[in-house]
Amino acid sequence: MLSRVVSTPFRRMTRPAGILQSYSKTQFRFFAGTSKLRAIKPYLLADIGEGITECQIVSWAVKKGDLVQQFDPICEVQSDKASVEITSRFDGEIKSLHYREGEMAKVGSPLLDIDVAGDGELDNTPPVPTPSNQNHDNDIDCTRPDPQREGQGLADKNSAQQTDSISTGSRQNRPRANYASVLTTPAVRRLLREYGLSISDVQGSGKDGRVLKHDITRHVVELQTGRPQRNKEISTTSRSAPEADRRLKLSPIPSHMFKSMTASLSVPHFLYSHTVDMTALADVIKRYKEDKTLASRLTDETGTAVKLTFLPIILKALSQALNKYPVVNSLLDVSESSDGLPALLIKKSHNFGLAVDTPNGLLVPVLHGIQNHSVLTIASEASRLAYLARAGKLSPGEMKGASFTVSNIGSIGGNVVAPVILSPMTAIVGIGKVEDVPAFEVDENGIEQVVKKKKALLSWSADHRVLDGATIARCAQEVAMWLEKPELLGLALK
């Protein structure tokens, strides 16, 4: 009689053939054994900055099965303040990735699992199930499409008929596309594999030339018939139907701005604007640019000639004014005190947050210790921070510690602005565009005449709970004095 041997931890037993079918779907246990010494460690997302609780996975530098060494890059994450590259602390093999690109990772949660060779830690994980029974949500291969998200319609209906129509030789000889490096959807990648096509052979009709599913269908029909097919779906849609609305989830930087601006609603803003004559300052900058010898001598710490603009001189003039009105360079501490009242923390160091417009949103890197810098070093540091902000490479330390904020709206072309205070700071100034305006001037003979002047509008906002209008007005006039007489600003430098 036909029989089958079934293994159990302690005995061998036989089963008649008639009942084999009832056991075919049973999950049997195998011989027990001592747990294998392995060293699979969860690699945790460390705290990358003050107040940061989660980050978005921008890109992975590794995939499952890769061997990494200490300090090799693992991934790049984007917080609400900066972009940070995460590197490996171990030598070993990547066993699994816990997040896909674009997903949010909590600080302190595992980013991936890494098999650290020779560590000798005890791993009591159960035997790995077979692929047919596996449902491991955290084990993600980020270089392959997610089969659960792939579209089934067109491929399931027509794959048998259309695959036979395409020559077998073209499928075998055609180079396979690098799907991980091309921006497509999982459904598109599946269709490419179904038909044995390379994505470089298909002309995309989506945004920025992205290949869509109907592009592949059209390409297959062209191969079968030898005649180009008009994309009826695209032409009909563009002629008769408007574009569909998009629901856009805020990324970390706009989300942080949402929280900051929501908090600013509790601050009573006091607004003050005044016009500053920048004619003398413009003449100084013009002479600096025209004097090639002077420009070559004035360099930054790296020996590079400094490009001089209005901004670094305005920042230095602000610092000089804050020496006289230090209460403007302050932070409001609303934490509970013994008397239940908030406190005003007047900062000794002039740390100016410089608002920078970037492709990812508004960022505010910080120029520390303006009072100890020259105009040229301020220009060099401001240029460096602006470049890092637009490239998304600011470190967390370059985003912290601001005591006063400057918004250079004039670089875009604006004049009047009502800047919003970033708590816990108590003041901010917006710099308008420097432009030519007509003005009246009395010459040496006492004759009034119209002359061309360069002027800019400075717009101030202050927390009216702790700063009064008179203090802001006097501080603003002090700034104007230094800007209108730049030769005095040079005498005051340390």
- CA 178/CA 299 separation, integer angstroms: 46
Q: Helix (H, G, I), strand (E, B), or coil: what is residue 316? A: helix
Q: Phi first, then psi: what are they for 58, rounded to 5°?
A: -80, -50
Type of residue found at 139: D
Q: Where in the chain is the domain with CATH 3.30.559.10?
A: 261-492
User: Order of strands, edge to edge, in the sheet holding 104-106?
Assistant: 83-87, 73-78, 54-60, 104-106
Q: Phi first, then psi: what are they for 345, rounded to 5°?
A: -100, 105
Is 468 known to be catalytic?
yes
| Of 425, 432, 431, the residue nearest 467 (C-alpha) | 425
Q: Which CATH architecture has domain 148-240?
A: Irregular (4.10)
Which of the following CATH numbers is that of domain 40-123+136-143: 1.10.3470.10, 2.70.98.20, 2.130.10.10, 2.40.50.100?
2.40.50.100
- CA 329/CA 351 separation, integer angstroms: 9
Which is the catalytic residue, given 269, 274, 368, 464? Answer: 464
Q: Helix (H, G, I), strand (E, B), or coil: what is residue 60? A: strand
Type of residue found at 410: G
Question: Would you write out the chain's pLDDT as a tens digit for each of its 494 residues?
Answer: 444 444 444 444 444 444 444 444 445 454 444 444 456 788 888 766 656 778 888 889 899 888 888 888 888 888 766 677 888 888 888 999 999 888 888 888 888 898 885 443 433 333 333 333 333 344 444 444 444 444 444 444 444 444 444 434 444 444 443 444 455 666 777 778 778 888 878 888 776 677 887 788 888 877 777 666 554 444 444 455 567 787 877 777 777 778 888 888 888 999 999 999 999 999 998 888 888 776 666 665 566 677 889 999 999 999 999 999 999 999 998 876 666 678 899 999 999 999 998 887 788 999 999 999 988 889 989 988 988 888 888 888 888 899 999 999 888 877 888 899 988 999 999 999 999 999 888 888 888 889 999 999 999 999 999 999 999 999 999 999 999 998 888 777 76
Note the pTM of the prediction, 2 decimals: 0.56
Which is the catalytic residue, given 47, 146, 283, 468? Answer: 468
Which of the following CATH numbers is that of domain 261-492: 3.90.700.10, 1.10.10.10, 3.30.559.10, 3.40.640.10?
3.30.559.10
Tokens linked to 491: 């005498």
